[in-house]
Structure 1
Amino acid sequence: MRTIIDGLAFAKAVAHVSKTLIAGQRQAVRLAATGDGLRLDADGQYYSRADLDAETVEDGSAVVNGFWLSSVAAVMPSEELNVETADSKLRLDCRGIVMELPLIDDPAAEPNVPDLPEEWASIADGGLARAVGAVVHAADKGSNNPVLSAVRVRGSDGSIELSATNRYVAATARADGSADMDALVPAAWLKANAEGADRIGATGRMFAIAGPVYTDATPMVEGQAPELAAIWPSKDAPLTLTMDRAELLEAARRVKAVKFSGGETVTLALAVGDDSITLGLDDAESGSGARQTVSAEVSGPVVDGHVEGAGRRLRLDARYVANACGALYGDRVTMYVAPRSNGKYKPVLLACPDASDGFDMCDEQLIVPILL
């Protein structure tokens, strides 16, 4: 095997497919050079493939340790790189700089290629990465409940809808495309691989995404996704607060900086005024506190800083407010607030009325209020 390829593109591709490797178990990367270019593939936690433009001098393939290949590819010059096999080694050569790795001669170590979709749903204009970025923060970061650690991907009314929830926060986003699927996909995998992907597909129990260079596939999560539509609040709320999204994001991040006591929850109390809201945090254990006022368009009945019908001021977790604002697109964000009949609060909806850059305006974020 011998092929000539751009060194930077090669290093990036090796780094990408090597993310799936499992040290001591599945750590091989296969290189296959043909007249169509150079293909790299690997399997471990999932399957990953890269198809690169290359000038192939001699067809052939080689299997090497992917961790080692990633290390040496990263330090080669970002120039024309000669990749060849000779004397049971893989050789990388550029301007007299030579790196050699032993070939793996064990069929059991070679990457397994799963059945990939024959039909794909196209998603243009970076829509998949944007939609993934809008919802992954809402997925559970732990692994005790794989369903809550997943993103639901399903075709809906000529669009592809993504959603995620950890029970305390939820998010939905849509991308243009048509797909006949309803899949639970690991959120961490989507976040790591969605950039640059422009199509999705499913076959059996595998979910796949692909772009001009990379194709990645992972087993779907088994289980029943929560039906968020059953609890999703209406925009027909008695109180709406419209603010500058960046200002609210900055305020939530700043105020939560005084949380020095233990525990993960960062309780923000929101005091609603005539034309503003004040975000306050009192950390009783450490004795610290913070306040920041944000200008707001207030529409609805307010009594003593809270919506009429509620027993007290709204309290939200500052982490969720910051994550929701960071995930939305648009200069302005509207918070829809409604009380329950018992004086407590319904889940609070956040959405942008003026989503920018041509993005779909259906992205929405939900935060469950703190009850204590």
Structure 2
Amino acid sequence: MFYNLLYPLADVFSPFNLFRYLTFRSIAAFLTALVLSFLIGGSLIRWLRSKQAQGQPIRTDGPATHLSKKGTPTMGGLLILITLTVATLLWADLTNRYVWIVLAITLAFGAVGFWDDYLKVTKKNPKGVPGKIKLVISILVAGIAAYLIAQASPSSLRYMMALPFLKDVLLPLGLIGFLAFSVVVMVGASNAVNLTDGLDGLAIGPVIMASAVFGLIAYVVGNTILTNYLYLHHVPRSGELAVLLAAMIGAGLGFLWFNAPPAMVFMGDTGSLAIGGALGAVAVVTKHEIVLAIVGGLFVLETVSVIVQVLSFKWTGRRVFRMAPLHHHFEQKGWAEPTIVFRFWIIAAILAMAGLATLKLR
């Protein structure tokens, strides 16, 4: 909003020229989301606690240490969504279609998560919305977003998939193939973050790291000079997503302040589905879908652990892990929760740097 209102007045008041710079507006969006989180976080948590008598239902078949968390409110993802949305609307170029598409899918996935959390709290049932219903809604939302992204993309990149490590290589997928692939990326990323969100601070740390990497990727891919230098595919106007991702980093850090062990609030599906979907959508826009699997490798590991566990038990009657997702396996082995969180953060940081390296390794 500030860009659209104030930058045209730069000829009258030269300091308004600052609003043309993505770096300035990204930093401003980060600080806005962070400060706003601190300002409203405490009040929002108290309101959630007043509406949730017993907090998020705790699985009786889960690790025994989780029983001590009974009464902790959920839907803390609202804090992320509110601050992310406000900061983005204030500092992004509101004529940019990519910003609206990614913000819309973030809020749509967040709404599905909110519905799920609401049922869990009101029905005192850890299952919430049936999985098939959530999946169908998520696929529809992602499919619409994928189509809009394709129409906003330059014709040379439309319905194409780029491969990391290879320059000037594009795989034509066609309309149906592109939509299917994009849906898998967005819905997969959304659910992968959701599966990872099982310990205090576990999911939001890697999300912040992935947001930082993809903020840089969006900035680079949207810049003609940098894409020519790095042999990347140029996606005009995609750089504006750096503002949204900077806001997500600020919102994530603000949420982490309240979610650090012992958590005052849980993210819930409200937050995890939303921010995972946002990362998936940005990956589709920037043509770095496969890189997302590297940067978000921790989310992939958590998801694979669940798939392996389910298939192994179904086919052989045996469990590969003591409990899935993977972080619960280490809990059952006796690792302290902060130990798991910090070690998983270290793994996420390594994978984020590996994903970032793909920009240069061509």
User: TM-score scaled to structure 1, two decimals?
Assistant: 0.22
By percentage of residues, which structure has more helix?
Answer: 2
Which has the greater radius of gyration?
1
By percentage of residues, which structure has more strand?
Answer: 1
User: TM-score scaled to structure 2, two decimals?
Assistant: 0.23
